[in-house]
Structure 1
Amino acid sequence: MEILMKIWEYFATNILQQPAFMIGLIVVIGYVLLRKPWYDVLAGAIKAIVGYFILAVGSNGLVTNFRPVLSGLKDRFNLDAMVIDPYFGQNAVTAGVEEVFGKGFGQAMILLLIAFIVNILLVRFSKYTKMRALFTTGHVQVQQAAIAYWLIMFACPFLLKSDIEMIIVMALVLGLYWAVGANLTIKPCQEVTDGAGFCLAHQQMFGVALNYWLAEKLFGKKKNGKEVKKIDDIELPGFMSIFNENMVCTSILMLIFFGTILVVLGRDYLTENGFLQEGASMVFYVIQTCLYFAVYLAILQLGVRTFVTELTASFQGIADRLLPGSIPGVDCAVIFGFGSANAVPLGFLAGFAGQIIAIVALIVLKSPVLVICGFVPVFFDNATIGIFANEKGGIKAALILPFISGLCQVFGSALIAGWVGMAAYGGYIGMWDWAVVWPVMTGVMKFLSYAGIVVVVIALAVIPQIQYRLDKEGYFKMTEDYEEYKEIKARQKSAAK
């Protein structure tokens, strides 16, 4: 048993928690199952791994580049508050779980393993479960396993008497959440990408599905029956036509919004905290910092194009041989290479505005839990939602829905983190699903005990069954043959007229 644990720990540390190598492994397995020659397998794995590294450079650059803005807002307004960010949330669990519950953090990694097996089994028996998505985003799984570990122990203290019972219940709930959540994003992703063959496996899966549906229902049709204009369909007059170019639009928007914040923070603050070198030009520091947003976004999109092709092509082997009809769930940043590029900065800024307003409201209302926005939730949640909202509801949806998302992230995180005790340890995950969906599930399990666990499990399991019954003819064709799926949709639309 000890040998097996060491093997698992090695695999979890070096592959499962390193999404680039996890993606590379999936590509290798897929191409081997497709009986590709060894040199094609090697080339595909290298391109997938390098592509993910490029994506990571872009993502990390975005986070690092805007650290002075977010830390400055905290320091300038003397806020002693909880940070909503996946890494702060994971650190809070690491710091406090043993003190609060008397359990070690190591069990969260065992939870991750068993929950991943649950996800695989649910997809393997998709004929019955109707779940078609494999969650492959390893670093996100680690973060979510940590937070779920805390939330479920808080909700179900009666499980603490038996480690085996506790881990099994946790793994069932978390594994179902991964499979069901990723499955919910299949239709939005396939429609936005025209059948690229992936879905999202991240922190806002339910949020994407709900906002995609809301965008269509609330904003998708004009009163005269015409389709709404998406961001890229809007022709701007005169000098404003420069905003049609994504790189220019992103750069100017960042200069206006974040440039203003940096100027307000001032040279003294930026110099004292090491963000601006002594004697350097403040003007060019602001310009460089804001323009780097466009640089890192371009790098991220290059990484997406590099590895998605290999992943989706190779995954066909896994789908054909091991997990019929399945597709991989990947990082939400992948969607930035599709849809409207300008929806990314607009969704981000709308969500940021929502978060700031919500934080001000917490301060005014003298909330016992104050929140500092982290870059990961405010950017990756809201930019992602902006892309999907724009696809179905145009520019109004791309601004309004991410704004509401920003409000939900702050209010929901403050509520759940204060209730379960994580706020005292300085962080909470803060992403859409964990600020909206998981507080509801935690409350159900807390107040209904064992019955609450049953309710949550059944509710999650029923969701894909409902999806299937709403579109029996096209449900599996959506992942197996997207061109045929589009023909089915066209026939259904013609028959409805």
Structure 2
Amino acid sequence: MTANAVQWLNKGLIGEPALMLGLIALIGLLLQKQPLQKLLSGTIKTMLGVKLVQIGANETGASLSNMSAVIQNGFQIIGIIPHSETTTAMTQINFGEEMALIMLIGMIVHLAIARFTPAKYIFMAGHHMLFMSALLAALLMSSNFSTLQTMLIGGTVLAVCMSSAPLIAQPYARKVIGNNSFGLGHFNSLGYLLSGLIASLFKPGERQQKEVKKNKLIVLFQDHMVVIFIFTFVLFMIASLFVPKGSIENMFAGQHFIIVSLIQATWFAAGCYIVLAGVRMMLAEIVPAFKGIADRIVPGAIPALDCPVLFSYAPLAAVTGFLLSFIGGLLAMAMMMQLQYTVIIPGVIPNFFSGGAAGVIAYKIGGRKGLVVASIIHGFVLTLLPVFLVPLLSNIGYLRTTFADIDYSAVGIIVNAVLDWLQHF
């Protein structure tokens, strides 16, 4: 019975964000005593919005994965690729039950923190809960803690992370959103803090903003989907130039690299469009519905949502942030190769989502200069930090992959340091 409950929690409710957020929307609407029509509409549209985000993310992810393969093929690089999904799947094989128990305890403690402390954010990105619970289970179980100790310690640490991540990012996220209607439930909060701090050193000028609006030469590029397509097409074209002759045809069923670049740019732009549409639909339903939970269960609670919710506030800054963050990652990779360190290959997908959200924050705070500087530094740190996390996971067999976002590396390093300190007593 316990195993079935754990499986239901791990692979059912938490494993499917659309169901979890749909359930939250339903509870919120029920607490507001909304009519049946609104109950169905709000719940279904919330789930559809989340699913659209997932579909768009899969489309962009497929294109970005192909880009990553082209880059690795072109530069003949062998290293460790940050990919939280793969690392989590490896952890589930050995520690699936511990992961689920950590999540269960973590959610309970997290709600208590929101209820009785000023940290009123409710973390609603279920897949990030799963990733962090995997990291904590791997670290704690490798340190010979019992299942009970792993559950209690891991659950408490997870709850603290879920409560603190939105709190850390909110001062800068608020400047993007314009209010506190929602926060960021994403374990790259230290990355957003870093981007915000760096961007705050720059101030966008009013003259620059007016010139951009009046310049008739950029009318074509006022449509952000056109810009996203062109950026992606050019990026694929450039990456293809470094690939040995004939390799692109072998990788993509005989297609010419120009055709490949056009198709991949279309996938990526279409995926971005679907993500933005899903975000708008989800926010239109989940934020009002969440008010019922905030009023009844956790007064003053604020939903903390996944980072793509920021993309619609500045789509071009999101794409630019991704590109510059990836460039920063390449710089970090080059430095590691020169120093003969373990080489971390910058993950295209984490750079897209985390780098994109960081880019929106940087642009809103520091304008174009802030966007450029903050995004490059963000990408550099995003790629460099896993170097210090990899040795902590290598003891349990994770040799060619690791967790992607900055918070995972920071939490892993801190937890490992505390565990080492405790073992001396």
Provide TM-score, normalisation by structure 1: 0.79
The 3-state SS of whatever aligns with 1:265 is coil
1:56-97 Cα shifts (integer Å, max 9, x gaps): 1111111101222212222343333211111122134346xx
Aligned length: 424
Residues in 1 aligned to 2:292 and 2:266: alpha-carbon distance in whole angstroms = 41
Shift of 1:153: 4.5
Change (3 A) 1:424 1:31: closer
Change (3 A) 1:440 1:14: closer
Indicate yes or no: 2:259 matched with 1:291: no
AA matched with 2:73 = D
In terms of Rg, which structure is larger?
1
The 3-state SS of whatever aligns with 2:377 is helix
Superposition map of 1:153-302 within 5 A: 153=141, 157=143, 160-195=144-179, 197-216=181-200, 218-220=201-203, 234-235=212-213, 237=215, 239-265=217-243, 268-273=246-251, 276-278=252-254, 280-302=255-277
Superposition map of 1:66-465 within 5 A: 66-94=64-92, 98=94, 104-125=95-116, 129-153=117-141, 157=143, 160-195=144-179, 197-216=181-200, 218-220=201-203, 234-235=212-213, 237=215, 239-265=217-243, 268-273=246-251, 276-278=252-254, 280-338=255-313, 340-367=314-341, 369-421=342-394, 424-435=398-409, 437-449=410-422
Shift of 1:444: 3.5
Residues in 2 aligned to 1:200 and 1:31: alpha-carbon distance in whole angstroms = 22
Change (3 A) 1:167 1:77: same
Shift of 1:281: 4.3
The 3-state SS of whatever aligns with 2:299 is coil
1:454-495 Cα shifts (integer Å, max 9, x gaps): xxxxxxxxxxxxxxxxxxxxxxxxxxxxxxxxxxxxxxxxxx
AA matched with 1:302 = A
Residues in 2 aligned to 1:81 and 1:15: alpha-carbon distance in whole angstroms = 34
Residues in 2 aligned to 1:161 and 1:394: alpha-carbon distance in whole angstroms = 48
Quick check: 1:243–1:249 contact (8 Å CA) kept in 2? yes
Quick check: 1:85–1:375 contact (8 Å CA) kept in 2? no
Residues in 2 aligned to 1:29 and 1:229: alpha-carbon distance in whole angstroms = 46
1:166-194 Cα shifts (integer Å, max 9, x gaps): 32111111110111112233343333222
Quick check: 2:135–2:412 contact (8 Å CA) kept in 1? no
Quick check: 2:390–2:402 contact (8 Å CA) kept in 1? yes
Q: Percent identity?
A: 21
Shift of 1:270: 2.6
AA matched with 2:133 = A
Shift of 1:249: 2.0
In structure 2, stretches of 5+ residues that fail to align are none
Residues in 2 aligned to 1:358 and 1:186: alpha-carbon distance in whole angstroms = 27
Provide TM-score, normalisation by structure 2: 0.92
Quick check: 2:329–2:346 contact (8 Å CA) kept in 1? yes
AA matched with 1:434 = Y
Quick check: 1:344–1:386 contact (8 Å CA) kept in 2? yes
Equivalent residue number for residue 482 of structure 1: none
AA matched with 1:220 = K
Equivalent residue number for residue 57 of structure 2: 59
Shift of 1:138: 1.1
The 3-state SS of whatever aligns with 1:185 is helix
The 3-state SS of whatever aligns with 2:122 is strand
The 3-state SS of whatever aligns with 2:340 is coil
Residues in 1 aligned to 2:334 and 2:19: alpha-carbon distance in whole angstroms = 41
The 3-state SS of whatever aligns with 2:367 is helix
**Greater CA drift, 251-260 or 37-46:** 251-260
Shift of 1:233: 6.9
Superposition map of 1:31-46 within 5 A: 31-46=29-44
Quick check: 2:194–2:378 contact (8 Å CA) kept in 1? no
Quick check: 1:445–1:451 contact (8 Å CA) kept in 2? no
The 3-state SS of whatever aligns with 2:243 is helix
Change (3 A) 1:229 1:178: farther
The 3-state SS of whatever aligns with 2:186 is coil
Quick check: 1:343–1:398 contact (8 Å CA) kept in 2? yes
AA matched with 1:336 = F
Shift of 1:5: 4.7
